[in-house]
Amino acid sequence: MGRKAGITLESVVEAATAIADRDGLDAATLTAVADELGIKTPSLYNHLEGLSGLRRLLAIHGSQLLLKTFEEAIGDLEGTEALRSIAQADRQFAREHRGLYDSFLPAPKPDEDTELYEAMAEPVFLVAHVLLDMGIPQSEAIHLIRALRALLHGFLDLEAREGFGMPVGIDASFDVAVELIIGGIEAAAASSR
């Protein structure tokens, strides 16, 4: 056979995303993706660089989708209202796109994969802007953003793994946790005014 199935990079990513979000990132094997697309596994190598290439594409795609999600979550909001909205949006993203969420956990070094690194940095920049707009100096903002990222990531990761035990009151726990960090951010903003 010559060329036949109209496989595009987009269709590969789409198929892989569907599998990863449904059955987990590890289920998005080259074999599974190829099956889904109706081609043989080696044919995928015409489009990407093996499994690591697929993971990379998922990470870029996921980062872009997360960025869009954050942008919509912020909308016209500012300050703590924007942060609250981002937190909720992040949680919803992690629930709806488990595979994509997991795909951008292994962070690349800035110099070894610039495109991926920048894609993953975009959502962080967006949040950073919110803090800077609140008047928090960069030297403080960097710590607070890391705290917020850590809390969100840790919560969503534990939640996905059912690491909290009884799922009772998890929504409330999330709100409490987010408010703790936002409280700290608010305090930093207040003392910078």
Q: Which residues from 160-189 bind its own copies, rule CB under 8 A?
A: 161-165, 169-170, 172-173, 176-177, 180-181, 183-184
- Give the C-alpha separation, 39 to 5, whole Å: 8
Q: b or e along 123-160 (b: 16 or more beta carbons within 10 Å of the residue's beta carbon)?
A: bbebbbebbeebebeeebbeebbeebeebbeebbeebe
Indicate the residue among 76 and 111 with the shorter CB distance to its own copies: 111
Taking the complex as a whole, the smallest distance from the CB of residue 66 to DNA amounts, in Å, to 24
Backbone angles phi, psi at 24, to 5 degrees: 100, 155
Please report, as a single letter, which amino acid is at residue 13: V
**Contact by Cβ (8 Å): 66, 74:** no
- Nearest C-alpha neighbor of 13 from the set 100, 78, 75, 82: 100
By C-beta, is 3 or 161 nearer to DNA? 3
- Out of 41, 138, 173, 191, the only residue in the binding site for DNA (CB under 7 A) is 41
Residue (38 or 114) nearer to its own copies, CB? 114
In the list its own copies, DNA, none, the entry touching 183 (Cβ below 5 to 8 angstroms by class) is its own copies
In the chain, alpha helices (H) = 9-23, 30-37, 50-74, 79-96, 98-103, 114-133, 138-160, 170-192
Site for its own copies in 101-140 (CB under 8 A): 105-107, 109-110, 121
Q: How far is the CB of 26 from DNA (least distance, A)?
A: 9
By CB under 7 A, name the binding residues for DNA: 1-7, 29-32, 34, 39-43, 45-47, 50-52
By CB under 8 A, name the binding residues for its own copies: 105-107, 109-110, 121, 142-144, 146-147, 149-155, 157-158, 161-165, 169-170, 172-173, 176-177, 180-181, 183-184
